[in-house]
């Protein structure tokens, strides 16, 4: 359970930012505040500058995908206060095509973090001075951390020796790569596999133990008969 000081801080933030804060919860003794998307910059500036808060460090900014929700994405801002010796997470819920205000005017480090969030999830940040891809290649299609993005991607790239350059080609997989038996390939696990699957051999050293157990079972059955 969170201590009393963290509860008091949560009530203080909720009271001072009443028009902007939707609510708050405690997750693993950490404060999580839900905020209206359009007010995110104002809330972060308050948390940074207020003498009772002083969350002066933006540790991370990331996205979370919930495809089943009307407000598909959460954008999460993780802040650290050396004065409070605590962290707080600020969350905003946004729709798929909703544009989020940038917070680069509050925390300059958010510039690269917003680029990463856009690259991975496709969440747009209005006012970001350099909203380009940062982890994927130029010309990459889609946003790879969305849950509906195929694991194989849409294209693959390779170096073409004849053309002397990198080329992009559509991903094509044979059926052999799409069929799995979901069994462990490790030899040390072969005694746990299903019989008849080609992996069910008994590991060395176990055969005598299994044979002795079968003999004992047979003798018990004979004596009962």
Question: Could you tell me the CATH number of the domain that includes residue 10?
Answer: 3.30.460.80
| pLDDT in the model for residue 220 | 60
Residue 14's domain comprises 4-132
List, for the chain, all residue ranges whose pLDDT scores fall below the cut of 50: 187-189, 193, 199
Count of structural domains, the chain: 2
Domain boundary among 132, 160, 177: 132
Backbone angles phi, psi at 119, to 5 degrees: -60, -45
pLDDT of residue 215: 66
Stretch (H or E) spanning 223? helix 207-224
Which residues does 126 contact at the CB level (< 8 Å), separation at least 6? 99, 100, 101, 102
Give the integer Cα–Cα distance in Å for 181 and 200.
Answer: 13
Query: Does one domain contain both 59 and 123?
Result: yes
What pTM does this model have? Answer: 0.72
**Which residue, among 23, 48, 52, has the nearest Cα to 35 in the 3D structure?**
23
Note whether residue 99 is domain-resident.
yes
DSSP for residue 137? P
Establish if 86 belongs to a structural domain: yes
Instruction: Examine residue 211 and state whether it is found in any structural domain, yes or no.
Output: yes
Judge contact between 183 and 199, C-beta under 8 A.
yes
Instruction: Give pLDDT, residue 188.
Output: 46
For residue 85, give both structure tokens.
């010796």
128 with 192, same domain?
no
Establish if 72 belongs to a structural domain: yes
Domain boundary among 132, 149, 169: 132
Nearest to 22 by CA among 79, 70, 74, 61: 74
């Amino acid at each position: 359970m969170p201590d009393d000081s963290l509860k008091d801080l949560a009530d203080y933030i909720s009271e001072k930012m009443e028009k902007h804060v939707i609510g708050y919860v405690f997750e693993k003794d950490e404060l999580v505040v839900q905020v209206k998307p359009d007010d995110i910059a104002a809330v972060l500036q308050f948390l940074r500058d207020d003498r009772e808060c002083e969350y002066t460090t933006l540790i991370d900014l990331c996205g979370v995908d919930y495809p089943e929700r009307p407000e598909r994405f959460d954008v999460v801002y993780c802040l650290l206060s050396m004065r409070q010796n605590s962290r707080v997470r600020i969350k905003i819920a946004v729709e798929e095509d909703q544009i989020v205000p940038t917070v680069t005017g509050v925390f300059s480090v958010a510039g690269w973090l917003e680029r990463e969030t856009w690259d991975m999830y496709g969440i747009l940040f209005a006012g970001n001075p350099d909203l380009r891809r940062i982890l994927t290649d130029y010309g990459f299609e889609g946003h790879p951390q969305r849950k509906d993005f195929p694991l194989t991607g849409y294209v693959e790239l390779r170096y073409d020796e004849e053309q002397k350059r990198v080329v992009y080609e559509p991903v094509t997989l044979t059926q052999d790569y799409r069929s799995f038996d979901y069994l462990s390939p490790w030899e040390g696990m072969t005694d746990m596999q299903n019989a008849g699957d080609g992996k069910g051999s008994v590991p060395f050293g176990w055969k005598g133990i299994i044979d002795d157990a079968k003999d004992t079972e047979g003798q018990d059955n004979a004596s009962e008969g």
